[in-house]
């Protein structure tokens, strides 16, 4: 349990589209500083946020058209990460270059690929069309979490914790006592939980107007390494699919460092989509639930990090999905070569000598 595999070859939620504009945005991802900004034509780009001269953050520089001018000694870095000018001299150092990360902007989300650009396949991302489907509305946000990524993955893959951590909102005894079916395929772990004839938890009573008994479905999909989508349906007991109230919660679980995580979320619903008061209530409740998780995961992180004598965990049936998720991350990390986190422009090369041939990005992907 003390391992913390950080997988480089994967799409991570880097930012929401409305966070990135013509102001330079720094965000640390997998212990690397990233500078996001939008070009004049609206395209988003992300560069390693270290000036190739003396590592000053480019995000503290200024945008001149699509070029960043470093605010320390004036290196000018274009949107491909190449130095195209230096204030103090007419010629440009030929090795002055920073990594440009492959990006994919889709449905209001900017996904970033931190590993080998040649493996940045858009097909690895889940369907997010519901984020822009006019039949859905959503609330969203980013919660900082001082715990390692894998603890959040296991939290979401074992929702029996709702019974104990969230009893005043989304949890009740039915969650912990109802078993799940778990399936795995490729880099994905999924589970389903179907609760029949249960009491509606307080959050759903308030946001759906449901009275007990209800049936409740929780279908979770972990798209390793960084995305979890929970499909939720509640309906009066006996109601046939697809009737009822549908919600989805997507979590973008993006390691900031080995022991801190960006916990992005989007919560959507397909009913009462014009009800702003309901949206405000759901956002407040979602943040309250996530804070309960943060409080738990951060003390768990302290316990994990402070372990000097390795402890043997015990596990129960409800841990199946979480354990599969953890092992999947470990397998993905083992598949990577040491170079996967430092490919292309990051690879050290002599000051003199030929520049590397740029790696073509897969279709639909910007950068790389």
Residues that bind ligand FES (CB under 6 A): 51, 53-54, 56, 70, 72-75
Residue 58 DSSP label: G
Least distance between ligand FES and beta carbon 74 (Å): 6
Residue 111: name the closest of 365, 332, 294, 291 by CA: 365
Given a contact cutoff of 8 angstroms between Cβ atoms, the answer to whether 327 and 312 are in contact is no
Q: Residue-wise over 252-263: b if at least 16 C-beta within 10 A, else e?
A: bbbbbbebbbbb
Closer to ligand FES by CB, 89 or 308: give it: 89
d(CA 116, CA 286): 35
d(CA 278, CA 139): 10
Least distance between ligand FES and beta carbon 112 (Å): 23
DSSP one-letter string for 239-285: PPTT-SEEEEEEEEEEESSSS-EEEEEEEEESSSTT-HHHHHHHHHH
Least distance between ligand FES and beta carbon 252 (Å): 31
SS3 label, residue 350: coil
327 Cβ neighbours under 8 A, 6+ residues apart: none
Reported as half-sphere exposure (CB side, CA atoms, 13 A), residue 57 has a value of 12
Given a contact cutoff of 8 angstroms between Cβ atoms, the answer to whether 264 and 13 are in contact is yes
DSSP one-letter string for 300-329: HHHHHHT--SPPPP---GGGHHHHHHHHHH
Closer to ligand FES by CB, 75 or 228: give it: 75
Closer to ligand FES by CB, 61 or 322: give it: 61
Q: What's the order of all strands across the beta sheet hosting 83-85?
A: 62-64, 67-69, 76-77, 83-85
d(CA 188, CA 224): 6
Closer to ligand FES by CB, 54 or 347: give it: 54
Closer to ligand FES by CB, 234 or 345: give it: 345
Closer to ligand FES by CB, 6 or 47: give it: 47
Closer to ligand FES by CB, 62 or 177: give it: 62
Least distance between ligand FES and beta carbon 94 (Å): 16
Cα 239 to chain center, whole Å?
34
Closer to ligand FES by CB, 25 or 83: give it: 83
Least distance between ligand FES and beta carbon 351 (Å): 16
Residue 346 DSSP label: G
- Residues pairing with 214 in the sheet: 198, 236
């Amino acid at each position: 349990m003390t391992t913390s595999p950080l997988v480089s070859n994967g799409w991570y939620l880097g930012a929401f589209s409305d966070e990135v504009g013509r102001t330079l945005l720094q965000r640390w991802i997998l212990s690397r500083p990233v500078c996001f900004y939008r070009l004049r034509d609206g395209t988003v780009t992300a560069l390693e946020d270290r000036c190739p001269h003396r590592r000053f953050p480019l995000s503290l520089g200024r945008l001149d058209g699509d070029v960043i001018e470093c605010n320390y000694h004036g290196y000018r870095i274009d949107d491909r990460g190449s130095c195209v000018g230096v204030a103090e001299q007419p010629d440009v150092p030929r090795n002055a270059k920073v990594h440009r990360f492959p990006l994919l902007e889709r449905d209001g989300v900017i996904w970033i690929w931190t590993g080998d650009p040649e493996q940045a396949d858009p097909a690895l991302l889940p369907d997010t069309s519901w984020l822009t489907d006019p039949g859905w509305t959503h609330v969203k946000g980013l919660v900082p979490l001082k715990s390692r990524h894998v603890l959040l993955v296991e939290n979401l893959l074992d929702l029996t914790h709702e019974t104990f951590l969230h009893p005043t909102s989304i949890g009740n005894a039915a969650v912990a006592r109802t078993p799940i079916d778990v399936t795995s395929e490729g880099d994905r772990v999924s589970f389903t939980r179907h609760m029949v004839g249960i009491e509606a938890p307080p959050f759903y009573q308030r946001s759906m107007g449901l009275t007990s008994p209800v049936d409740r479905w929780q279908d979770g999909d972990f798209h390793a390494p960084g995305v979890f989508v929970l499909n939720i349906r509640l309906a009066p007991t006996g109601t046939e699919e697809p009737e009822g109230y549908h919600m989805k919660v997507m979590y973008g679980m993006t390691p900031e460092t080995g022991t801190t995580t960006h916990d992005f979320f989007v919560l959507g619903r397909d009913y009462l989509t014009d009800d702003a008061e309901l949206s405000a209530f759901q956002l407040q409740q979602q943040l309250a639930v996530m804070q309960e998780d943060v409080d738990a995961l951060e003390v768990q992180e302290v316990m994990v990090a402070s372990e000097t004598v390795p402890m043997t965990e015990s596990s129960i049936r409800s841990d199946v999905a979480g354990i599969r998720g953890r092992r999947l991350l470990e397998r993905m990390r083992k598949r990577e070569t040491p170079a996967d986190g430092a490919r292309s422009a990051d690879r050290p090369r002599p000051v003199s000598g030929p520049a590397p041939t740029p790696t073509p990005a897969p279709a639909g992907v910007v950068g790389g």
